[in-house]
Structure 1
């Protein structure tokens, strides 16, 4: 099993959006028996809560299931469990390094570093622009799936 974890500050906007979108891509490629997807927060503010309504609305708009999405914290144990730990911005990456105790480890990746955008995904909790976030997350998730398929010899 290949384990993928998406991480953002609160686990209510970007990372659950990425989890749901990536899970949808994995299912469409018939890889859901091979790739497990989850998401987590670097903060403890929203633990146990469902995603932000803006995230739920954008997922519904694109017909992507939000079932099972609940905020949870990133833990040190997640480093052992997950093969790919994907942060949404530089601040998330720094926090992931601090929480896992694994600075600069290659399994910890900023999502858009896999694309030609090479930038942070803005937090729609603050910007209110869930459409922009969805577009960037979608681009990053597609690039991530290609990377995983290439690295793990899963040709889809």
Structure 2
């Protein structure tokens, strides 16, 4: 089983959107028994809450389920459990490194998977309100991550 964790600040906008989109793509390819996806936030403000209304509305528009999703905080044990820890911005990377104790984790930013994009971080729609832009980046990033997983684990996607 391959384990993927998406991380943002509060785990109500970007990372749950990425979790839901990635799960949807995995189910479409019939790989739900090979890849597990979760999300977490570096902060604890929204623990237990569902995804942000803007995220839910957008996922509803695209017919993507977010059922049973609730915010949780990133923990050091996540480093041991997940093969891919994908952060939304530099601040998330720095905060995850603080929790796990330094540079030992192989972390990546979602935007590192999209070298042709001019943005180097996924903007936080909690502040910008631009959930459509985040969805576009998350959708493309999840496609690129699935290709990477396929390559690194010899999966048929």
Q: TM-score, normalised by structure 1?
A: 0.96
Give the paired residue count.
155
The aligned residue for residue 147 of structure 1 is 148
Where does the alignment leave 5 or more consecutive residues of structure 1 unmatched? none
CA shift digits 1:101-151 (9 cap, x unpaired): 242632x11011011226100000000010001001111111001001110
Residue 27 (structure 1) shift: 0.5
- C-alpha RMSD over aligned residues: 1.0
Take 2:145 and 2:55, find their aligned partners in 1: how far apart are those partners? Answer: 20
Deviation string, structure 1 residues 49-95 (Cα, Å, up to 9, x no partner): 01100000000011100112100010000000000000001111111
CA offset digits 1:28-64 (Å, max 9, x no partner): 1111000000000100110010110000000001110
Structure 2 vs 1, CA of residues 104 and 45 (structure 1 numbering), >3 Å: closer, same or farther?
Answer: same
1:32 is aligned to: 32
Question: Shift of residue 155 of structure 1?
Answer: 2.2
1:6 corresponding residue in structure 2: 6
SS in 1 for 2:72: coil
User: Does the Cα contact within 8 Å between 2:79 and 2:105 map onto a contact in 1?
Assistant: no
Residue correspondence of structure 1 range 68-107 to structure 2 within 5 A: 68-103=68-103, 105-106=105-106
Q: CA–CA distance in 1 between the matches of 2:140 and 2:102?
A: 27
Residue 113 (1) aligns with residue 78 (2): no
Unaligned stretches of 5+ residues in structure 2 = none
CA separation in 2, counterparts of 1:155 and 1:69?
A: 27
2:55 maps to 55
SS at match of 1:4: strand
TM-score, length basis structure 2: 0.96
Q: Which runs of 4+ in 1 moved over 6 A?
A: none
- In the aligned structure 1, how far is the partner of 2:156 from the partner of 2:34? 12
1:17 matched residue in structure 2: 17
